[in-house]
Amino acid sequence: MDKLLNEKELKALVSLLEDEDFEVIKHVEGKIISIGNEVIPFLEKEWESSFNPTIQRKIEELIHALQFDYLKFRLQEWVKNGGTDLLEGVWIVSTYQYPDLELSFLKKEIEQLYYEVWLDFKKDLHPFDQIKLINNTIFEKLKFKANTKNFHSPGNSMINVVLETNRGNPISLCILYILISQKLDLPIYGVNLPNLFLCTYKTKGHQFYINAFNKGLIFSKSDIENYVQQLHLNPMDIFFEPCSNEDIVKRVLRNLIISFEKLGDHYKSDEVKQLLNAIGNDHSSN
């Protein structure tokens, strides 16, 4: 915490949040936010001990502003560092709704899913047969499935909610598929197809596609070509080739924007747009 401000001085600042002068309030809010994330525990204590609804509301807004700024910073740092850890990227996105969510918790959850798949997995099988084994474990044994009833729910873009409910949209189910498969040392990646996110199994001499939203249904390249043709689009490499983890996280953010807009929550959709713009905006959504 800022050495220039002790607890007594912070309490005095918080008390000014109900000042009638708008300029005073703005100055106080700016001063508190300038301290950074380390002031949040103090603000939480002040919220609990306050019986003033105005101050409580202002404290809630300040905590959210601090958490949002920190989320944006972490997302930018993740991209700057190469976006190598997909789970970390989608965890950062999930902290928008669940700021107390721990990455270590998600790692344990994914590790458990990997273990369940590994028990039935056989390395010496043809790739198609390997995928069938993975599909059987994820979609039949573990009961992960498409959330068709609430397709546009924001929870579909939150990896912790997907793990808790066993329901997801195309990209979140693909993310689980990728995380588990890559722990099995399989060459499986995401593919940024318009209106539908897929996985691809790709080696130098072998490539096919996997639809995690449809229980791991396998597609050929010609199936994808037909799909693109039905959409009246010109074939592009990005419709067939693996995309980056950064592309995946951007698409998750775009899906979140659509989810909040459909709920009429324009404040949250605007905030997620800020996150997307902070790391660059391109391509389509599910």
Using DSSP's 3-state secondary structure scheme, residue 21 falls into coil
Does the structure show a pLDDT above 80 at 44?
yes
Structure confidence at residue 102 (pLDDT): 97
The amino acid at residue 249 is V
Q: What is the pLDDT of residues 81-130, one digit of tens each?
A: 999 999 999 999 999 999 999 999 999 999 999 999 999 999 999 999 99
Bigger pLDDT: 265 vs 1: 265
User: What pTM does this model have?
Assistant: 0.88
Final residue in a domain of this structure, among 57, 80, 103: 80
Q: 185 and 258: one domain?
A: yes
**Residue 198 near residue 171 (C-beta atoms within 8 A):** no
Shared domain for 113 and 227, answered yes or no, is yes
Strand partners, 200: 189, 209
Same domain, yes or no: 146 and 232: yes
Q: How many helices (H) and strands (E) would you count in the chain?
A: 12, 6
d(C-alpha 160, C-alpha 181), whole Å: 18
Contacts of 186 (CB under 8 A, 6+ apart): 127, 130, 201
* Parent domain of 64: 7-80
